[in-house]
Amino acid sequence: MMNIKNCGEGNSGRLLCSDSLLTWKRRSLSSMHKDTKWAKQIIAMQEEDGKWGSFHTLSVSSGRPITTEQALRRLERLGYTIEDVCIQKAVSYMNSCLVGRADIPDRREKLLDWDIFVSLMLATWIRRFSDEFPAANKVADQWAAVITSAFQGDAYHHKEYISAYHDIFGVKPRGGRFVDFTCFYPISLLGNRLDRRIEEALMDYVLNKEDGIYYIYSEKISSLARESCSCPRFLKAGRLAVILRLLNFWQNTDMRHISYILLWTG
């Protein structure tokens, strides 16, 4: 096991390690489970075009026990990457949907900007496995422009967020997942797409936001490792592991922000 004490601190005040703690932690949480019965069952349910039925919302009428998104999340946690055929098929399918050659079979949701949400979901999951798809990178750059505008001056400004969102997407944000951007998709999508100053401001905002990250955890993340947190330890550990995987996609992650996660889950 890697010892966090082996990390030194550079001139900039950022913790430096000979081997990234985030990368190491992510490897330790996944790759040993690829050949399990559970993984084989998920892969066996994949359709020829690469999907697992509905993408985001489970449809009872479809008769499918899992969505494409659920399958991808579970396979990712089990250690599957773009090097695996099942992921290659899924990413190819998602890219086809993103560029308009195919459509996800989900029912359109009316309470949010559906087309923008679909492109956000697809681009996020494509980029969790590969950053070599131009359509997904274009969506990432659109969101990076919005977030960069919102964090001028190293603090979040909601009016600037609303304005930039309208400028980029042509409409004002509609639906809770867009009015408040701190959900799984934008946070994951923005990896390697923000400059250091904006990324660090975003991380401070996300980790200290009272209601956490939508789809991930509904409490203040920087308080998760405290013993006073009411959540059982094993549940906290699971949530912290998910957050760790999410933040691993940010290129300028400051280890001072999240070293307590590594210590707590180690």
pLDDT, mean of each 10-residue run, the chain (266 residues): 38 39 47 81 96 86 84 92 97 98 92 92 96 97 97 91 96 85 89 88 86 74 58 53 57 50 44
Rg (CA), the chain: 19
pLDDT at position 93, please? 98
Q: Token pair 């590969």 is at which residue?
A: 130
The CA-based angle 75-57-126, given to 5 degrees, is 45
Report whether 80 contacts 34 (CB < 8 A): yes
Sign of CA dihedral 252, 80, 84, 68: negative
pLDDT at position 110, please? 84
pLDDT at position 240, please? 58
| pTM for the whole structure | 0.78
> Phi first, then psi: what are they for 116, rounded to 5°?
-65, -40
Q: Which long-range contacts (CB under 8 A, 24 or more apart) does 24-33 make?
A: 25/244, 25/248, 25/262, 25/265, 26/244, 26/245, 26/248, 29/77, 29/241, 29/244, 29/245, 30/76, 30/77, 30/78, 30/79, 31/79, 32/79, 33/77, 33/78, 33/79
pLDDT at position 14, please? 39
Give Cβ neighbours of residue 100 (< 8 Å, ≥ 6 apart).
none
The CA-based angle 69-74-79, given to 5 degrees, is 125
CA-wise closest residue to 152 among 189, 111, 195:
195
DSSP 114: H
CA-wise closest residue to 74 among 98, 96, 46, 93:
46
pLDDT at position 245, please? 58
Residue 32 to residue 88: CA distance in whole angstroms: 20
| Residue 140: Cβ-neighbour burial (10 angstroms; 0-12, 13-18, 19+) | buried
pLDDT at position 199, please? 87
List b or e across 9-24, with b for residues whose CB sees 16 or more CB atoms inside 10 angstroms. eeeeeebeeeeebbee
